Structure 1
Amino acid sequence: MDIDVHPCATPGERAAALTLRRAVFVAEQGVPAELELDDDDARAIHLVAIVDAAVVGAARLVVRGDGTIKVGRVCVRRDARGRGIGRALMAAAHDQARTLGRRRIVLHAQLTVSGFYRDLGYAVVGPPFVEAGIAHERMEFDLG
């Protein structure tokens, strides 16, 4: 299976990414729709993962003033999970951060998937907290 991950190149890809995010975060996880989209979306780099001409994964990267990149809204279509798409999205996020000259990535991981990020080398920084009604923990990754 070929996974093509790249920044959204067309309005159609961006729309597909937002549709996928709504399906995962709002429909599946019960995040209030008004919280799923926020001010960061306008300035973020939006990544899509494409398999067989379909958007099956998405993530966004926000360049922050403190020199970090915040990765968020990482999601994979339900029927495409467990096939390496999340790892491909995160590898592309790391590449994008390096291209932008950033050395550290931060994210808020849902506790149910924090093991995925630990396996990628992320470290927990701080106690668990609730965001959008879901337990999370802050994690960081040093790009070296």
Structure 2
Amino acid sequence: MQALTVCELPIDFAPAAFRIKCVSEPWERREALALRRAVFCVEQGVFVGNDLDAIDAHATLLVACACVAGECDQVVGTVRIHEAEPGVWWGSRLAVHPSYRHLGRLGATLIRLAVSMAHARGATAFWAHVQQQNVALFEKLNWHLHGPVQLHGRPHGLMEASLAHYPPCHEPDWGYFTLPQARARASASAGERRT
């Protein structure tokens, strides 16, 4: 008897969309923390063992999830935010899985939701210590460099978001959807051809 094949996915299968949102399920939190360990402990060697600290006890965790059939399936990016004092918010631990760094603007969209969510919660300032190699990306996203700092033995930039470029997001549980970059370009080109 021949086996019935229900569905074969192509080897180069990639998610059709990503959802960037606040963590709402325990599995999302577990995968986000595992991703942080993989990036900051294993890949970069910034921390030994794990990267958890006192901020995690009160920070809000955001995730970028790869979607299958419109549902979150896998955490492929994360960032955390917290209010250090009234109106002053910080973002930290931005991480995107290496396999997904080329597919779209996941890091940029995580940053956008982080700042926009804090803005909706009354932020008057939003800060981050950004690894030196990522300063240029943040500058493109309307952040301002206030100077160099050493953090965890590595060069960082002390940066502040321009809140005027980040409209408040009052629905962070819903978040944002984004297409992989190549698919978004193809969709735009198809739209141009139709006009």
**TM-score between both structures, scaled by the size of structure 2:** 0.70
1:134 is the counterpart of 2:149: no
Q: Write the distance in 2 (CA, Å) between the matches of 1:39 and 1:61.
A: 13
The 5-angstrom pairing of residues 118-133 of structure 1 reads 118-126=139-147, 128-133=148-153
In structure 2, give the amino acid aligned to 1:75: A
| SS of aligned partner of 2:139 | helix
Given that 2:79 and 2:110 are in contact with CA atoms closer than 8 Å, whether structure 1 keeps it comes out as yes
1:24 is the counterpart of 2:39: yes
Q: Write the distance in 1 (CA, Å) between the matches of 2:115 and 2:92.
A: 13
Q: Percent sequence identity over matched residues?
A: 32
Quote how far apart the aligned CAs of 1:35 are.
Answer: 6.8
Quote how far apart the aligned CAs of 1:134 are.
Answer: 1.6
Which of 20, 39, 42 is the aligned partner of 2:57? 42
| SS of aligned partner of 1:125 | strand
Q: Report what 1:74 is aligned to.
A: 94
| SS of aligned partner of 1:96 | helix
1:11 is the counterpart of 2:26: yes
Given that 2:37 and 2:49 are in contact with CA atoms closer than 8 Å, whether structure 1 keeps it comes out as no
In structure 1, give the amino acid aligned to 2:97: R
How many aligned positions are there? Answer: 143
In structure 2, give the amino acid aligned to 1:12: W
**CA deviations over 1:5-31 (Å, ceiling 9, x no partner):** 111101211111000000001101101
Q: Write the distance in 1 (CA, Å) between the matches of 2:84 and 2:162.
A: 15
Q: Write the distance in 1 (CA, Å) between the matches of 2:47 and 2:163.
A: 33
Quote how far apart the aligned CAs of 1:142 are.
Answer: 2.7
| SS of aligned partner of 1:64 | strand
**TM-score between both structures, scaled by the size of structure 1:** 0.93
Q: Write the distance in 2 (CA, Å) between the matches of 1:94 and 1:101.
A: 11
Residues 66 and 33 from structure 1, CA distance in 2 versus in 1: closer, same or farther, beyond 3 angstroms?
farther
Quote how far apart the aligned CAs of 1:66 are.
Answer: 4.6
Gaps of 5+ in 1: none
Given that 2:132 and 2:157 are in contact with CA atoms closer than 8 Å, whether structure 1 keeps it comes out as yes
Residues 125 and 66 from structure 1, CA distance in 2 versus in 1: closer, same or farther, beyond 3 angstroms?
farther
Gaps of 5+ in 2: 1-15, 68-72, 165-195
RMSD: 1.4
In structure 2, give the amino acid aligned to 1:72: S
